[in-house]
Amino acid sequence: GQQLNQSPQSMFIQEGEDVSMNCTSSSIFNTWLWYKQDPGEGPVLLIALYKAGELTSNGRLTAQFGITRKDSFLNISASIPSDVGIYFCAGFDNYGQNFVFGPGTRLSVLP
């Protein structure tokens, strides 16, 4: 089946640093999404990308939909302690109407 890979698997950064993580796929998706999951909670949508090449920002977060439609990246600028959590990318398959999630990147922010 379709699979998404995320890198890095985990990262430890100092508060105030910028963060970059990416997501790659073996197949094409028409929509890319980035979610954040806090401990003990369900994922919450951060950014949705609908067009190849699209670059979208949401506050300190910026995400891009790769030109090949097989990858996406998420950047977080000036990290703060509440950025801690697991970040998931997800692709939406218009044909099957189902969502495919990556395994997640666990972010830790050190004060």
Interface ranges with other proteins (CB under 8 A): 1-2, 4, 6, 31, 33, 40-45, 48, 88, 90, 92, 94, 97-104
What minimum distance in Å lies between the beta carbon of 90 and other proteins? 8
What minimum distance in Å lies between the beta carbon of 74 and other proteins? 15
Q: By C-beta, is 73 or 88 nearer to other proteins?
A: 88
What minimum distance in Å lies between the beta carbon of 16 and other proteins? 28
- Residue 88 · residue 106 · CB < 8 Å: no
Sheet harboring 19-25: ordered strands across?
A: 4-7, 19-25, 71-76, 61-65, 55-58
What minimum distance in Å lies between the beta carbon of 40 and other proteins? 8
Q: By C-beta, is 14 or 97 nearer to other proteins?
A: 97
The number of beta carbons lying within 10 Å of the beta carbon of residue 63 is 25
Cα distance between residue 11 and residue 89, in whole Å:
16
